[in-house]
Amino acid sequence: MDEEKQQENAQGAVAESETVEQLGSEPMSVEPNLSNEAEVNQDQSIGEPTVPPTESTLEPEVEPFDLSPEPSVTVEAVPSVEQDSELRAKVEELDQRVEALKAQLEERNNQYMRLAADFENYRKRTQKEIEEQEQKVKCSTIKELLPVVDNFERARSQIKVQTDAEKNINSSYQGIYKDFVDRLKKIGVAPMRAEGEPFDPSLHEAVMREETDQYPEGTVVEELRRGYVLGDLVLRHAMVKVAAAPEYSGSPEEEQSMN
């Protein structure tokens, strides 16, 4: 019985040595995640070999190749020295043309401004000449009518009404005179008031001198013919008599004593 136990022990030792050699010759499998391993049965023996890993667990993850074509890169051509000089020459030529056009435009604007100013001056001058010409025509026409006014005034001072018929004729006559004078006033004609005013050569025409002590020397004593004005323009100067200083008629001794 002892011999049979020894043989069995010897055979078990040989089997264990063979399993150890098999484990040493086979590669060890290293799994990345031990949490996902299959649990080993508690009844499994220690000497039983482990299950080798499958091909799916050993294959590395390889990213697929990007087979799309790469974008084409365009390379700009660098201009040569001759082309650069030509471009600069063209730019300078264009700048010269622009400056010439600017100068031409400025000259045209100056010409236009001068022409506009000349036209405005011509318009004003022409308008003024037209107004002056109209004033001259008006004055000349009124001057021809002033003697009619003188005749009316002279007749009024000389007529002496005696009967009713003469009174009616005189009233009709004076009505025509009044209407004529009113129409002259509407266009700006006004008579001068010269009597008692200082003599003014621009308004009065002295035809007589009278020695008197009642008025200062150079004062209009009497209006012989009435003068008329149209605004600031004199239509007709007034004929007047001007006061003069009286000459002393005493003896020479009194004259010397007065001096």
Report yes or no on 24 lying in a domain: no
Report yes or no on 5 lying in a domain: no
Report yes or no on 236 lying in a domain: yes
Q: What is the mean pLDDT of the chain?
A: 76
Residue 41 — very low, low, confident or very high, per pLDDT cuts 50/70/90? very low
Query: Could you tell me what percent of the chain has a pLDDT over 70?
Result: 65
Provide the pLDDT for residue 229: 92
- Ranked by mean pLDDT, the top range of 46-50, 218-222, 246-250 is 218-222
User: Residue 221: left (phi > 0), alpha (psi -120 to 50), or beta?
Assistant: alpha
* Separation of alpha carbons 87 and 93, rounded Å: 10
- Ranked by mean pLDDT, the top range of 10-14, 29-33, 74-78, 111-115 is 111-115
* Separation of alpha carbons 72 and 52, rounded Å: 51
- 226: nearest Cα among 239, 210, 235: 239
Strand order in the sheet with 238-244: 204-211, 238-244, 220-225
- pLDDT tens-digit map of 225-252: 999 998 888 999 999 999 988 875 555 5
Question: What is the token pair recorded at 119?
Answer: 């036209």
Provide the pLDDT for residue 107: 92
* Separation of alpha carbons 160 and 156, rounded Å: 8
Report yes or no on 210 lying in a domain: yes
Provide the pLDDT for residue 23: 47
Strands 220-225 and 238-244: antiparallel
Report yes or no on 178 lying in a domain: no
Report yes or no on 206 lying in a domain: yes
Least confident residue range of 11-15, 60-64, 230-234: 60-64
Report yes or no on 216 lying in a domain: yes
Report the domain count for the chain.
1
Report yes or no on 95 lying in a domain: no
Residue that wins the pLDDT comparison between 42 and 71: 71
Residue 61 — very low, low, confident or very high, per pLDDT cuts 50/70/90? low
Q: Which domain holds residue 203?
A: 191-246
Least confident residue range of 20-24, 36-40, 147-151, 212-216: 36-40
Residue that wins the pLDDT comparison between 55 and 139: 139
Model pTM score: 0.50
Residue 43 — very low, low, confident or very high, per pLDDT cuts 50/70/90? very low
Residue 1 — very low, low, confident or very high, per pLDDT cuts 50/70/90? low
Strands 204-211 and 238-244: parallel
CATH of the domain at 225: 2.30.22.10
